[in-house]
Amino acid sequence: MSARILKGAEFRDQIYAEVRAEIEALRAGGITPGLAAVLVGEDPASQIYVRNKIAACEQLGIFSAQFTPPASSTTEDLLALVAELNSRDDIDGILVQVPLPPQVDTKRVLEMVSPEKDVDGFHPVSLGRLVTGRPGLVACTPAGCMEILRRSGIRAEGANAVVMGRSDIVGKPMALLLMHANATVTICHSKTRNLPEVVKRADIVVAAMGRPWMVQAEWIRAGATVIDVGTNRIGSAKEAERLFVQHPERLDAFRKKGFAVLGDVHPGAAEAAGAVTPVPGGVGLLTIAMLMSNTVKAARLRREAGRAAGTPAAAGAVRS
C-alpha cells in the first residue's frame, strides 16, 4: 500500500485563510502588517525566493518593501540598513535573504535584526525562547513541518522521532519543537553510527541533510511518517545518471529541463511509509506560509507590547 501524500498546498491554503482573518482584524484596528525583504546582489535563486515571498505578501494584504543593496555591500552597509529597518514602525518583520556575499559577516547581520522583527526565527534570542518554551517567532521551515503533522492528525506525543540534520535553521529547532510536543527525539548527522538502523526505529522521520535521495526506502519503518525537508537542485548529468539509473523517465525529464529538484528521501520510501511529503510541493510551500504567519504574529505581538508599555507603537502604522 502506498503512503498518504501530504501535499503542502492543502496546508498552505488553510494557514493563509487563518492569516487573512487575522490581517482583517488588525486592519480594523488601523494596523497593516509590514515585511521588509533585503536582497543583496543578483543571485538568481535568491531573487526567485524573494519574489515568491513578496508575491505571498501581495496575495494576503501584507505591506512589503524590498531593498536591493549591491553585491559589493560591506557588513557595515548592511548593519546600517537593518538598524534603519529596526527603527521603522511600519515594518514588523525583517527578512535578510541568505546567502550573503562572501565579504559580509552573515551572523553579525542576522543578529542585528531586532528579535521582535525576526520573522525568520534565526536570532539567538528567538532560539533561546524556543529552548525555554517561551512565546516567540520560530524558524519557518520547522514550524511548517509541525503544522503538517498537526493538520494531518499525526500525533507527535509519545512518538519516536528522528531528525536528520543539526543546522540552526532546521535541525535543532525541529528537534526542540518535537520535544515540546512530547516526542522522544534523536538527532542524527553525518557522523551518526548505524544511521539506517537508527532511522528504522522512528515513527516520524524529518530529513534535512541536504543530500539527494540519501534516505533509502529500506530505512523507513512500515507506517512511519516521513517529512522531507530536502530541496536539492541537480544540474550535473553525471550525478543525474547515477541517481536515475533505475528511473529512466526521470533521466529523460532531467535531460529535457537540464536540472532536477530532489528531496533527501528516495521516492521508494512511499511504499513503506504511512505518510510522506513530496518534493517539490511539500514542506517548501509551508516555509513561505509560516513566514507570512510570523509577520502577522510579529505585528500583533509588537502592538500588544506597545500597549502594555504605553508607547506610541501601540497605535500601529496606518496605511491606505
Domains within the chain, CATH numbers bracketed: 32-115 (3.40.50.10860), 154-284 (3.40.50.720)
The pLDDT of residue 315 is above 50: no
> CB–CB of 161/202 below 8 Å?
yes
State CA 67 to chain mean position distance: 21
Identify the burial level of 65 via C-beta atoms within 10 angstroms of its C-beta, where 0-12 means exposed, 13-18 middle and 19 or more buried.
middle
**Amino acid symbol at 250:** R
Tell me the H-state helices in the chain: 8-28, 44-60, 75-87, 106-112, 124-131, 140-151, 171-180, 195-200, 237-243, 248-257, 283-309
Write down the residue that cell numbers 488553510 correspond to: 14
Mean per-residue pLDDT of the chain: 94
| Closest residue by Cα to residue 164 from 109, 227, 84 | 227
How confident is residue 303, by pLDDT bands cut at 50, 70 and 90? Answer: confident
The pLDDT of residue 247 is above 80: yes
C-alpha distance from residue 35 to each of 23, 107, 141, 259 (Å): 13, 20, 18, 32
Residues that are catalytic = 53, 97, 120
pLDDT value at residue 179:
98
Sign for the CA dihedral angle at 261, 264, 266, 272 comes to: negative
- The residue ranking higher by pLDDT, 210 or 303, is 210
HSE-up (13 A, CA, CB side) for residue 215: 35
Overall average pLDDT of the 50-66 stretch: 97
pLDDT value at residue 319:
46
> CB–CB of 303/297 below 8 Å?
no
**Residue 162: beta bridge partners?**
186, 205
Overall average pLDDT of the 68-86 stretch: 98
Verify cis geometry, omega within 30 degrees of 0, for the bond prior to 280. Answer: yes
How confident is residue 9, by pLDDT bands cut at 50, 70 and 90? Answer: very high
Long-range contacts formed by 77-85: CB under 8 A, 24+ apart: 78/38, 78/40, 78/104, 78/109, 78/112, 79/108, 79/109, 79/112, 81/38, 82/38, 82/109, 82/112, 82/113, 83/112, 85/36, 85/38, 85/117
The per-type count for the chain, helices as H runs and strands as E runs, is 11, 11
- The SS3 assignment for 265 reads strand
pLDDT value at residue 279:
95
- The SS3 assignment for 134 reads coil
Cell, residue 197: 538502523
pLDDT value at residue 311:
57
Write down the residue that cell numbers 529547532 correspond to: 173
Question: What percent of the chain has pLDDT above 90?
Answer: 91
Write down the residue that cell numbers 528504522 correspond to: 200
Overall average pLDDT of the 260-282 stretch: 95
pLDDT value at residue 309:
67
Sign for the CA dihedral angle at 299, 31, 284, 117 comes to: negative
The pLDDT of residue 278 is above 80: yes
